[in-house]
Amino acid sequence: MAEGQQSFWFLENIDLTNVFCPKKMGNTVKNLEHKTFERHSYIYLPEADANKVYFILEGRVKIGTYTLTDPPQEVTKSIIGPGEVFGELAVAGHPKQRDFAYAMEKTTVCLMDASDMKSLVKDHMPINLFMMKLFAKRSLELEKRLESLMFKDSRTRILEFLSDLADTKGERVGYEWVVRKFYTHQDIANLTATSRQTVTTILNELKAQNIITYDRRRLLIRDLDKLKACACETTSGQ
């Protein structure tokens, strides 16, 4: 990352440059730091103190939890990247973390004390609005995921996941869509509550139909409309 780029970031089209730039904040935020986590390391675990809010500058973070079964099973809730926030429950007054945060690759985050974030939310309307949008977004994502688990089969969940991935993280290139840093088959299985084998089978079918192509670095969706149509056809055929 070029010098100076770690001083600010953009979240949901809200320019936070003047708020979070350490050179401009003065005494507004006393405990702001940048920290780098190596690949395959935990940023925090369930039951850790929830006293920080984290902003991703570089890298990718998996947010998840563990079931109470014996042995415990990992449940992936989301995978997030640069410009995204996690640990936000600390602002809502939760004393302990409910999830784990795991660095999927070398990841740099900006950490802010929850008390400082609360002050900023109170004093800066753009941040207040952003946090409200963040809580609403996470709530809607959870609701959508529960509905999908209850009413849709594995194939539909995977197809809709790929479609949503293009909408939220994709970059349009001509008539195609590219998603960089594509997820592993196991990550997709965890996020859609399916099996790795099912994910592999469906991805290969879509590749054979020339709807997508992929490797470890990226997903290229050649025909997004056709991909969405496949999801609709699967749903209507249940």
Q: Print burial letters for 117-156: b (CB count within 10 Å at least 16), e (below 16).
A: bbebbeebeebeebbeebeeebeeeeeebeebeeebebbb
Closest residue by Cα to residue 159 from 213, 227, 233, 235: 227
| Residue reference for tokens 């960089």 | 180
- The three-state secondary structure class of 31 is coil
Instruction: Find the range with the poorest average confidence among 66-70, 138-142, 194-198.
Output: 138-142
pLDDT of residue 165: 94
Q: Is the pLDDT of residue 203 over 90?
A: yes
pLDDT of the residue at 232? 84
Alpha-carbon distance 23 to 18, whole Å? 9
- Tell me the per-residue pLDDT of 90-111, one tens digit each, with 9 for 90 and over: 998 889 999 999 999 999 998 8
Rounded Cα gap, residues 201 and 223, in angstroms = 19
Would you call 166 helix, strand, or coil by DSSP?
helix
Q: 5-149 architecture in CATH?
A: Sandwich (2.60)
Identify which has the larger pLDDT, 32 or 132. Answer: 132
Rg of the chain on CA atoms, in Å:
19
Question: What is the pLDDT, as a whole number, of residue 27?
Answer: 53
Name the CATH superfamily for 152-236. Answer: Jelly Rolls (2.60.120.10)
Residue 117's pLDDT is 87
pLDDT band at 142 (very low <50, low <70, confident <90, very high): confident
The domain segmentation of the chain, as residue ranges, is 5-149, 152-236
Task: Please report the pLDDT score of residue 50 as a whole number.
Answer: 95
